[in-house]
């Protein structure tokens, strides 16, 4: 079978097929594109058919490749972690603007947010918390690969940072409502990183209810949230006693991050 035959027979999007074929063949996509009539070795063809079968079943490309680009960094991902989303880069931009001396990333998952901030602001002390051990290992592996010193802690939200205060607290918490019609499309990702109670706000309620004790004077809390949640999230941030409450839109124009700061 040739490259072009394999791509045509894959039954998946041609661009994704080229990506997966390049991966299993160990070629660049450019060299694949340059030689469509090239015969594919038998074992490469088998590995490619395996991957395209999983892709047809709905497994995200990032899990098939085992990596995802976020903020220009190549991160390892696996089904224990949420696949970093482009809209979460907004949260990183807002964190970088504040040039915090210390940052707490709650529910770090693959490590994406804490890692991107540490990469851009090496002097910032980054603490990243994660309750799921497999995710924590993935995040550590990502930081190690990029040679970044991040203080990873195992536990739930603020539990592993009791008694500490930070110059910035950020989180991309689970915020999808139970029974949301989009959930079947997200079934390969860890549900604990996605779903958070009947209105999707359970995790955000938990974070905002105690965040005040973990912020230094003048420090911001920045939370990612879903479409249409900004009003409720702003109210929770206000109830936490924070001020200067602001919401920022992502590149698609959807209100995506809300935050406030301690007096």
CB of 186 to ligand GLN, least distance (A): 6
Q: How many CB atoms lie within 10 A of CB 251?
A: 10
Nearer Cβ to ligand GLN (52/110):
110
Q: Which is nearer to ligand GLN, 18 or 234 (CB)?
A: 234
Q: What one-character DSSP code corresponds to residue 90?
A: H
CB of 177 to ligand GLN, least distance (A): 10
- Asked whether 236 and 245 are in contact (CB, 8 A), the reply is no
**With respect to ligand GLN, which residue has the nearer C-beta, 145 or 187?**
187
Alpha carbons 83 and 75: distance in angstroms, whole number: 10
Task: Decide whether 85 or 141 has the Cβ nearer to ligand GLN.
Answer: 85
The nearer residue to ligand GLN, 40 or 194, going by C-beta atoms, is 194
Question: Cβ contacts of residue 182 below 8 Å, gap of 6+?
Answer: 176
Q: In this complex, which beta carbon is closest to ligand GLN, that of residue 194 or of residue 207? A: 194
Q: How far is CA 189 from CA 26, 78, 125, in A?
A: 26, 9, 29
DSSP string, 199-221: TS-HHHHHHHHHGGGGEEEEEEE
Beta-strand relationship, 166-171 and 215-224: parallel
The secondary structure of residue 156, as a DSSP letter, is S
Q: How far is the CB of 187 from ligand GLN (least distance, A)?
A: 12
Report the alpha-carbon distance of residue 169 to residue 104 in Å, rounded.
5
Count, residues in the chain: 263
What's the closest the beta carbon of residue 109 comes to ligand GLN, in angstroms? 9
Write out the residues near ligand GLN by the rule CB under 6 A: 85, 172, 174-176, 186, 194
Rounded CA-CA distance 241/228 in Å is 22
> By the 8 A CB rule, do 117 and 124 touch?
yes
Distance in Å, CB of 26 to ligand GLN, minimum: 31
Nearer to ligand GLN, 3 or 64 (CB): 64
CB of 236 to ligand GLN, least distance (A): 16
Residue in 241, 182, 196 with CA at minimum distance from that of residue 106: 196
């Amino acid at each position: 079978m040739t490259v072009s035959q394999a791509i045509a027979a894959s039954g998946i999007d041609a661009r994704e097929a080229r990506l997966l074929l390049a991966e299993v063949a160990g070629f660049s996509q450019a060299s694949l594109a340059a030689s469509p009539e090239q015969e594919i070795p038998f074992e490469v063809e088998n590995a490619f058919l395996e991957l395209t079968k999983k892709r047809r079943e709905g497994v995200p490309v990032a899990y098939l490749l085992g990596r995802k680009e976020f903020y220009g960094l190549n991160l390892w991902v696996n089904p224990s972690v949420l696949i970093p989303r482009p809209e979460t880069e907004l949260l990183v931009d807002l964190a970088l603007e504040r040039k915090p001396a210390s940052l707490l990333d709650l529910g770090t998952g693959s490590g994406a947010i804490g890692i991107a901030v540490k990469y851009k602001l090496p002097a910032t002390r980054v603490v990243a918390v994660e309750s799921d051990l497999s995710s924590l290992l993935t995040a550590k592996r990502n930081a190690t690969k990029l040679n970044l010193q991040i203080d990873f802690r195992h536990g739930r939200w603020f539990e592993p940072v009791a008694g500490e205060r930070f110059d910035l607290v950020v989180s991309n918490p689970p915020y999808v409502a139970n029974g949301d019609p989009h959930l079947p499309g997200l079934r390969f990702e860890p549900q604990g990183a996605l779903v958070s109670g009947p209105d999707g706000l359970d995790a955000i309620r938990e974070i905002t209810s105690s965040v005040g004790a973990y912020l230094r004077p003048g420090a911001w809390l920045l939370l990612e949230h879903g479409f249409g949640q900004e009003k409720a999230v702003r109210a929770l941030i206000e109830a936490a006693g924070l001020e200067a409450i602001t919401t920022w839109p992502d590149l698609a124009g959807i209100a995506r991050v809300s935050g406030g700061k301690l007096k």
